[in-house]
Amino acid sequence: MALVRLPKGMSETDAQADVTVVLPDGSELHVPSGSTVEDVAYEIGPGLGRDTVAGKIDGELVEKHAPVYDGARIEIVTDQSDEYLQVLRHSAAHVFAQALQRLHPEATLTIGPYTDEGFYYDVTDVDLDEDDLSAIEDEMDAIIEADYDIERVVRSREDAREIYAENEYKREILDDEASGEEVTFYKQDGWQDLCQGPHVESTGEIGAATLLNISSSYWRGDEENDTLTRVYGTAFATEAALAEHLEMRAEAKERDHRKIGQEMNLFSIPTVTGPGLPLYHPPGKTVLRELSDFANELNRENGYEEVETPHVFRTELWKQSGHYENYKDDMFLLDVNDEEYGLKPMNCPGHATIFDQSTWSYRDLPKRYFENGKVYRKEQRGELSGLSRVWSFTIDDGHLFVRPDQIRAEIESVIDMIFEVVETLDLEVDVALATRPDKSVGGDDIWESAEEQLRDVLESGGYDYDIEPGDGAFYGPKIDFGFEDALGRVWDGPTVQLDFNMPERFDLSYTGEDNEEHRPVMIHRALYGSYERFFMVLIEHFDGDFPLWLAPEQVRILPVSDESLGYAHRVKNALAEEGFRVEVEDRDWTVGRKIRQGHDDRLPYMLIVGPDEESSGTISVRDRFENEADEVDPDAFVDHLVAERDEKRTEPDFLAE
């Protein structure tokens, strides 16, 4: 819930002059001063104007009544746009809130945004549990069936405060976010909610909605504030789309990395260790070690040198870097001998300090450092979730110190490395340019230059990308890559960030060809993002069925009886000599039971050996797809396995047709 205000970048002067806006194809359109997104759509064509549901201004989703300004990049959102689902879900959040207050008039509403998966609404002064959701859903269905018009209403700020005289949360929103004398409400069937939109035209456009679960939350996400009840839901334009989503959600539950992690003994986060502090068990550490070796190999091949920095620094370093003023609330701070220290939330200040310990010529650049560095961030406990959000995690960090003329080539090289990771693991990525946040360091010229250079790399490279307004790091803009998993979900992943500010703060320099001192540019990059979140993505993407090169146990040998144990161990030794992770299943089980257990343990390959195999010097091979072959030459199998592992193929393919 928010208020009507001038979009970012728009001044009062802008609102008084004719303006030129930029359309998605790069063309420019001149529109009268005071024009809205809807007006722009009608200028393009009457049909588009009639179909306009909302818009995007510089990548930010806005209502169709939002004013445009000179130089704004404009996109029109219709019911055929990807963003339409966000608008529809925002309206579904209002339908939930109306239904809740019909059944529980005592309920106090706070905020209710759309999310990637649906929507949620935080409420208080009402006692809800999972059993209450069905009745609320029924009431939502009635509101949708009634097809009420959703009307935008402009009210004075004073009137809004009177409406919310008994709602301290809405009053706080009014006090903190109001930038003008008027605010907007959205109204349906006499019920209304403070909101800047956008919304669909009527409740009937929400073809299907459901409530998913209830959890607790904190007002403004701060655990020092009031505890609220958060109700999650989702909505789609059709029942069929909702059914498909719920089916995918059920599959996602089966793929949940916490469930699979326990089944495969990969990791645990016990209460006794503290929240968000994972422990990696031997099988999980095996996967992480393989990922680390892969990243280290890529780094060395591309001219990076490995460095190491400590887990804790004096806060003087964090003050110099800017993290203290911008990140202090998310840092773990401690006093040692009357001096303040902080666990590092990022690795970059340490790398900048290493660079600063030497004298550099323009011939020495670029200088590329990498470190698998453990960092610590004090996330709110309610936001911690398995490996996706933790207090302690490892970044496959890299920092480059480059001349300005080297920026483009180095960013392109980083992107090539990221796509090598993506292609090796058979992933898809979404690409986005994240621009200057409200809380940032550095001047306007620096930020504009940095954003333009990143945009130029993306556009000249032919990448499809979105704009993420305000999502850049506090020291510079970035290109973000989101990993898309087997279920189509997108997770935060690699990043490349352009930083003109930290070299200034650390007074970094190199001697140029003109014999004068020059300031290097710093590039921050990660190929995975964090190992923890990337591990989570891979667990769920592969459903625990890791490729051979990542699998904690790559081959298991199943002797049909104790008489074949000797031959089983000879086969094991031949595989172990080639560096494979191989075990012999020597429990007193039937072969059928051993095979079932091997499938449950998600093994790429099982080898069955008995008297026939021993006498012929062969093996029987079975893969995770239940393909099998008898009388296989062990040497041929080992040769194939070496190739499959070293080429990092994503599926066991010895028995592939």
Q: Mean pLDDT score of the chain, rounded to an integer? A: 91
Residue 381 scores a pLDDT above 80: no
For domain 84-254, the question of CATH label 3.30.980.10 is answered with yes
Are 513 and 391 a contacting pair, CB within 8 Å? Answer: no
pLDDT of 14: 46
- CA 50 – CA 78 distance, rounded (Å): 9
Are 534 and 452 a contacting pair, CB within 8 Å? Answer: no
Domain ranges, ordered by start, for the chain: 14-77, 84-254, 267-541, 555-646
Within 8 A by CB and 6+ apart from 602, the residues are 264, 544, 545, 546, 551, 624
- The rounded percent of the chain whose pLDDT value lies above 90 is 78
| Residue 524 annotated as binding site | yes
| Residue 281 annotated as binding site | no
For domain 555-646, the question of CATH label 3.40.50.800 is answered with yes
pLDDT of 657: 54
Which of residues 111 and 252 earns the better pLDDT score? 111
The pair of three-digit structure tokens given for residue 355, joined into one six-digit string: 């660079």
Residue 656 scores a pLDDT above 80: no
Amino acid at the residue 105: P
Helix, strand, coil percent content, the chain, rounded in steps of 5 = 40, 25, 35
Residue 397 scores a pLDDT above 90: yes
Residue 183 scores a pLDDT above 70: yes
Domain 267-541 is in which class?
A: alpha beta
Residue 274 scores a pLDDT above 90: no
Confidence of residue 489 (pLDDT cuts 50, 70, 90): confident
Residue 8 scores a pLDDT above 50: no
pLDDT of 457: 92
Confidence of residue 2 (pLDDT cuts 50, 70, 90): very low
Handedness of CA 438, 444, 450, 454 (dihedral sign): positive
Q: What does the DSSP 8-state code read for residue 487? A: T
Half-sphere exposure of residue 328, counting CA atoms within 13 Å on the CB side?
Answer: 12
Within 8 A by CB and 6+ apart from 325, the residues are 319
- pLDDT tens-digit profile of 61-100? 999 999 999 999 999 999 999 899 999 999 999 999 999 9
Q: What does the DSSP 8-state code read for residue 160? A: H
Residue 556 scores a pLDDT above 90: yes
For the ranges 155-164, 376-385, 646-655, the lowest mean pLDDT is seen at: 376-385
pLDDT of 450: 86
The pair of three-digit structure tokens given for residue 109, joined into one six-digit string: 């509403």
pLDDT of 569: 97
Residue 1 scores a pLDDT above 50: no
Are 216 and 228 a contacting pair, CB within 8 Å? Answer: yes
E strands along 219-346, which residues?
227-236, 267-268, 279-280, 305-306, 312-314, 333-336, 339-343
- CA 424 – CA 421 distance, rounded (Å): 5
Amino acid at the residue 484: E
Complete edge-to-edge strand list for the sheet that includes strand 74-77? 60-63, 54-57, 74-77
For domain 14-77, the question of CATH label 3.10.20.600 is answered with no
Of 258, 330, 287, 306, the closest CA to residue 531 belongs to: 287
- pLDDT tens-digit profile of 276-328? 999 999 999 999 999 999 999 999 999 999 999 999 999 999 999 888 887 88
Confidence of residue 240 (pLDDT cuts 50, 70, 90): very high
| pTM over the 0.75 mark | yes
Of 87, 85, 57, 60, the closest CA to residue 72 belongs to: 57
Confidence of residue 178 (pLDDT cuts 50, 70, 90): low
- CA 348 – CA 221 distance, rounded (Å): 27
Half-sphere exposure of residue 339, counting CA atoms within 13 Å on the CB side?
Answer: 9
